[in-house]
Amino acid sequence: MLETFSQTLPNGTTLACRASGTRGRPVLLFLHGFPEGAFVWDALLQHFSRPENGGWRCVAPFLRGFSPSSQPAEVEAYRARLLVQDLQQLLALESPTAPLGALVAHDWGGAVAWAWANQQPEAMQRLLILNSPHPGTFLRELRDNPAQQAASAYMAFLARPDAEALLAEDDFERLWGFLRPADSPQDPPWLTPALKDQYREVWRAGLRGGCNYYRVTPLRPGQADALTLPDSLLRIEVPTRVLWGLQDHALLPGLLEGLEQWVPHLELYRHGQASHWIVHEDPDWVCAQLQDFLRTPPPQR
C-alpha cells in the first residue's frame, strides 16, 4: 500500500514523500532525477515493502526543487551540501537509530547520493546507483572526451535563464523529447497516458528548481575545465553496485572506466538494451539487482 506524506525538516525544507511499508522497519531510500519525481519508484516501493521481499520501510522523496516539495528560487539553494542535508534530516526522522539498508539513486538523485556516501558512509549499508556518473569520472570525461562533451551539451541549454519557459512550451514538448528514444517522435511504450499525467503534475507546478540543478553545478561543458576535485571528495567506502543502461545517449559508457579508483567496493552491471530510463524500461531487472544486493551481508562498522 502506497502512502504519501510531507515532512518539514529542521532546516525549513519540506519534502513530499511516497512510501510503503511499516514505520520502524529498516529503511530503503530512493532518489529520483530530472525531469522526474518520486512516483518513478512506486513499483519498487511496493515490491520491497512486502514481507517476502524483506518487509523494508521504503521512502522516495520528491527532491528539493520538485513539486510538491519545497522549490526555492535561488540557484545557491541547490548546492550539494544543502541537498545532502535534506536527506540526512529526513533519514534522522525516518530511521533515528539505524543506517539505511540501501540508498538507491538515479540521475541527479545519484549525484546527491555520491556526495552523501562520500561525506557520511556510516549512514548507509549499501549504495545502488543507476545511470548517474561519479564526479571523478564525469570530470575526466568532460575534460578529455569530445564525445561526452557533445553528449552533455544539453546541460548548457538547461542552465539558460529562460530554460523553464522554453521547456513548458507546446505541452512540454522538449521534455517529452528527453524521455523518447534518440531521433524518435514516438513515446516509448512505458510512457503511458497515466504516467504522462504524473509528469505533467510535477512540471506544471514549476521547472525552475529542476533547472537550478544544472545552473549550480560546475560539472558541465565549459565549466569543468577549471575545476579540480581532491580524492578526499571522491572516495566512496560504501559497498556500491552500479547499474548502467548502455543505450544512454547523454551519459556514455566511458564514465564507467576507472570507477574502481574511487569506489573500491564496486560491483558493476551493464544492461545492453536499456537507456537512461532503465527504471521504466526494465523494472524487473532493477528489482532483481537490488534484491540480490540486499542479500549481501552489510559491512561491520
Contacts of 144 (CB under 8 A, 6+ apart): none
DSSP state for residue 221 in the 8-state scheme: T
pLDDT, the chain, mean: 96
CATH class of 3-294: alpha beta
- pLDDT of residue 299 exceeding 80: no
DSSP state for residue 132 in the 8-state scheme: -
Residue 203 pLDDT class (50, 70, 90 cuts): very high
- How many other CB atoms sit within 10 Å of the CB of residue 129? 29
Q: Which long-range contacts (CB under 8 A, 24 or more apart) does 6-10 make?
A: 6/68, 6/69, 7/61, 7/90, 7/93, 9/86, 9/89, 9/90, 9/93, 10/89
The three cell numbers locating residue 95: 530511521
- pLDDT of residue 301 exceeding 70: no
Residue 225 pLDDT class (50, 70, 90 cuts): confident
The pLDDT value recorded for residue 185 is 86
Q: Distance between CA atoms of 224 and 219, rounded to whole angstroms?
A: 5
- Please work out, in degrees rounded to the nearest 5, the angle formed at the alpha carbon of residue 33 by the alpha carbons of 45 and 173: 115
E strands within the chain?
3-8, 14-20, 27-31, 57-61, 102-106, 127-130, 240-245, 266-271
**pLDDT tens-digit profile of 107-147?**
999 999 999 999 999 999 999 999 999 999 999 999 999 99
User: How is the chain split into domains, by residue range?
Assistant: 3-294
**pLDDT tens-digit profile of 253-289?**
999 999 999 999 999 999 999 999 999 999 999 999 9
Q: Give the pLDDT mean for 2-28.
A: 97
